[in-house]
């Protein structure tokens, strides 16, 4: 549900956030206070309520999380978006464990952070929705609620696990993962936050692997009239008419797009589990 009342944001800003601050101030419904230090921010938070805190990128994730722990003792519902110059996979795990709303390392775009701010403010009565089951940096397993808010947060967390990839490869993996995750949440979990999708991420020197298992009854990948992947070659848009006829939201390109962006996309027989693989040094 869109945020209809004035939202209150506190930003611990420095000059590197000039582009972001310009975008934030374009939102008339966002009341923004800027602090230059964490101590100044803490004093402000002690006397005024805020929905969201954004930390400037001149601190490490560990410092931001220590600050977040401090302010949550005063306001347990406050959300944090942590911005950092650099980070490691272990930082992503710590951010998830400490229930931060989102996390970006430089270089990040002002537009992507602003989109996450909108997601945070629209989350309403927010519950984290992400449970870490295994937290080895190269093998992470999560149980996540089937909600769009959780999906957007998770896509950004997963992107931050790949700081060493080229931007093109990071973008490709991010887009493919988002499509497969949303399919699992929508068709398997019915976007019901009480329905859980189990997700594993495995990273080796030669590949990135995602395994998703949703709680739904599954499907046959060969018989999906609502998806572009099942269209005959001479009728590439048949699924659009099918979706309109059956009252399904526009879309249906997720599996087809994902297959083009990664190297392998494999479904189990039941259709409720999928492996997505991106090879980093493919053999020729």
Confidence of residue 34 (pLDDT cuts 50, 70, 90): very high
Q: What is the pLDDT of residue 116?
A: 98
CA 79 to chain centre: 15
Q: What are residue 145's DSSP bridge partners?
A: 196
How far apart are alpha carbons 152 and 216 in whole angstroms? Answer: 21
Query: Tokens in use for 253?
Result: 């390109």
CATH 3.90.1150.10 applies to domain 1-124:
no
* Cis status, amide bond into 107, omega within 30 of 0: yes
Q: What is the CA radius of gyration of the chain?
A: 20
Phi, psi dihedrals of residue 194, rounded to the nearest 5°: -80, -15
Residues 255-282 pLDDT 10s: 778 888 999 999 999 999 999 999 997 5
Confidence of residue 71 (pLDDT cuts 50, 70, 90): very high
CA-based diameter of the chain, in Å?
65
CATH 3.30.565.10 applies to domain 127-284:
yes
Q: What is the pLDDT of residue 236?
A: 47
Q: What is the pTM of this model?
A: 0.87
pLDDT above 60 for 189: yes
How far apart are alpha carbons 185 and 191 in whole angstroms? Answer: 5
pLDDT above 50 for 200: yes
Domain boundaries, the chain: 1-124, 127-284
Count other C-beta atoms under 10 Å from residue 249's C-beta.
9
Mean pLDDT of 24-35: 94
> How do beta strands 30-35 and 273-279 pair?
unpaired
Is-contact 35 10, C-beta < 8 A? yes
């Amino acid at each position: 549900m869109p945020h209809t009342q004035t939202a209150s944001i506190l930003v611990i800003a420095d000059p590197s956030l000039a582009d972001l601050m310009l975008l934030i101030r374009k939102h008339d419904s966002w009341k923004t206070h800027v602090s230059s230090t964490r101590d100044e921010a803490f004093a402000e938070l002690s006397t005024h309520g805020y929905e969201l805190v954004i930390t400037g990128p001149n601190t490490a994730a560990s410092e931001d999380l220590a600050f977040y722990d401090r302010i949550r003792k005063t306001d347990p519902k406050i959300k944090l978006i942590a911005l950092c110059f650099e980070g490691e996979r272990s930082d992503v795990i710590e951010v998830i464990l400490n229930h931060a709303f989102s996390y970006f390392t430089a270089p990040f775009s002002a537009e992507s952070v602003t989109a996450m701010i909108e997601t945070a403010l629209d989350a309403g009565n927010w519950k984290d929705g992400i449970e870490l089951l295994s937290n080895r940096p190269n093998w992470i397993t999560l149980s996540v609620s089937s909600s769009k808010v959780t999906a957007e947060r998770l896509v950004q967390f997963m992107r931050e696990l790949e700081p060493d990839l080229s931007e093109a490869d990071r973008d490709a993996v991010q887009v493919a993962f988002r499509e497969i995750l949303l399919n699992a949440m929508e068709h398997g979990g019915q976007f019901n936050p009480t329905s859980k999708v189990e997700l594993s991420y495995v990273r080796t020197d030669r590949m990135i692997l995602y395994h998703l298992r949703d709680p739904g009854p599954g499907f046959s990948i060969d018989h999906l009239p609502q998806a572009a992947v099942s269209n005959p070659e001479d009728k590439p848009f048949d699924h659009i008419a099918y979706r309109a006829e059956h009252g399904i939201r526009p879309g249906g390109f997720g599996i087809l797009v994902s297959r083009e962006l990664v190297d392998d996309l494999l479904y189990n027989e039941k259709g409720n589990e999928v492996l997505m693989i991106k090879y980093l040094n493919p053999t020729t």
